[in-house]
Structure 1
Amino acid sequence: MEIRARNRVRELTAALSVLSLAAVFGAVLGAIPSSVLPRAPAAVLDAIPHVNAVLSTLAIVTILLGVRFIRRGQVKRHRAMMLTTLGLFVAFLVLYLYRIIFRGAAEFPGPETIYQFVYLPILAVHIVLAIVCIPLLYYVVLLAVTRPIDAIYETSHRAVGRIAASLWLISFFLGDVVYAMLYVVY
């Protein structure tokens, strides 16, 4: 299985990206009916943005640690941090989509000028980066998990991983800014 997957990283990346983006857009556009999911109590739905802010902040820390470890040549620690980040992202995304399905997108409670000239541009960049990151992340993860560590150096994992980690880091940070504007500042 690993050898077949190793030879099909691009195809697997494309398939997983399409499935993931279909789930995201399906939830955001209301194509996934809430009746197909068990409904959590209101308190749980209310807590999701706060839990996701914590997950996002932890992901920022694990990305930075992963970068630090790989720069020091600590490959196993790097791998652990990046897989932890992936787990945090998956948890974040599942919770986010679950809340979107039941509650829709949060409305900005602040002034209209801040909404138009600060909040929306930040949100737009966050969303675009999150979408761009999905195939990049699948690609570098699939390269890493389908090969022995020594063989990873023969792939584009390092180059694509630098881009993916940078964009992922910015996206998580901007997500925290969006959270602060929705739930703390206003």
Structure 2
Amino acid sequence: MSTPEPTTNPAGFTKYKILMGALAAIIPVAVAILYFLPGVFVIPGLNVKALPAVNAVLNSLTAVFLVIGYYFIRRKDVAKHRAMMGLAFLLGSLFLVSYVAYHSQVASTKFGGEGLIKGIYYFILLTHILLAAITVGLVLFTLYFALTEQFQKHRRIARWTYPVWLYVSVTGVIVYFMISPYYN
């Protein structure tokens, strides 16, 4: 049995859509600026050395909660699905803050591998970066449709959001392990 969609558009819905759209554009641009212009927002004395490992843990846990959330929704346990997806969103948000903090302080580490592994690394990294930029908007709108009880729209976009977000979370961990030997 499906839940009917709300028939009205409360005044707040439109402003939240605009906010979600703005965040979906601003966040990837801000991350790109920090990536290409490291040291723009340096905070003297801030030690961020452990953050890449913390980010890998956050990405790993995000992936775990995404899979568990998917498991619960397939069994129609909406309450547990909502809890797992809320945890995935929280961890993903913490990851984003930690990632921005790290890259605002430190230039990106160069991959030192050679040959085939270098091509594999850059393929994974490129797809990870491109899909990560898309993931921000997908996640925000998927969450928006769930919170506004627009469940048909939520399900439609979640079919795209879930695999992309899971791919980004898992490849983030893979990228970390591949580049970690080259951290100073």
Structure 1 counterpart SS, 2:32: helix
Cα distance change on mapping 1:31 and 1:138 into 2, 3 Å: same
Q: Match of 2:94?
A: 91
| 2-structure distance, mates of 1:162, 1:169 | 12
Matched residues in 2 for 1:56 and 1:64: separation?
12
For 1:70 and 1:185, how far apart are their aligned partners in 2? 40
TM-score (norm 2): 0.85
User: Please, which moves more after superposition, 101-110 or 2-11?
Assistant: 2-11
Q: Structure 1 length as normaliser, TM-score?
A: 0.84
Aligned to 2:128: 126
Q: Aligned ranges for residues 147-186 of structure 1 at < 5 Å? A: 147=149, 152-153=150-151, 155-183=152-180
Taking only the aligned residue pairs, the percentage that are identical comes to 31
Give me the whole-angstrom Cα distance separating, in 1, the residues matched to 2:15 and 2:181.
Answer: 45
The 2-side partners of 1:171 and 1:26 are apart by 20
Alpha-carbon distance change, 108 to 70 in structure 1, aligned in 2, over 3 angstroms = same
Aligned match of 1:26: 33
Report what 1:105 is aligned to. 108
Partners of 1:55 and 1:169 in 2: how far apart?
Answer: 13
Change (3 A) 1:96 1:9: same
- Structure 1 runs not aligned, ≥5 long: none
Is the counterpart of residue 40 in structure 1 residue 43 in structure 2? no
Distance in structure 2 (CA, Å) of the matches to 1:4 and 1:79: 25
Superposition CA RMSD, Å = 2.3
More helix by share: 1
Runs of 4+ in 1 over 4 A off after TM superposition: none
Q: Distance in 2 between matches of 1:78 and 1:84?
A: 10
Q: 1 CA distance for matches of 2:96 and 2:69?
A: 21
Cα distance change on mapping 1:31 and 1:182 into 2, 3 Å: closer
Q: What code does the residue aligned with 2:106 have?
A: R
Distance in 2 (CA, whole Å) between partners of 1:139 and 1:4 is 17
- Determine whether 1:15 maps to 2:12: no
Give the aligned length.
175
Q: Structure 2: where are the runs of 5+ without partners?
A: 1-8
Q: CA deviation at 1:6?
A: 2.5
**Rounded Cα–Cα distance in structure 2 between residues aligned with 1:74 and 1:136:** 22
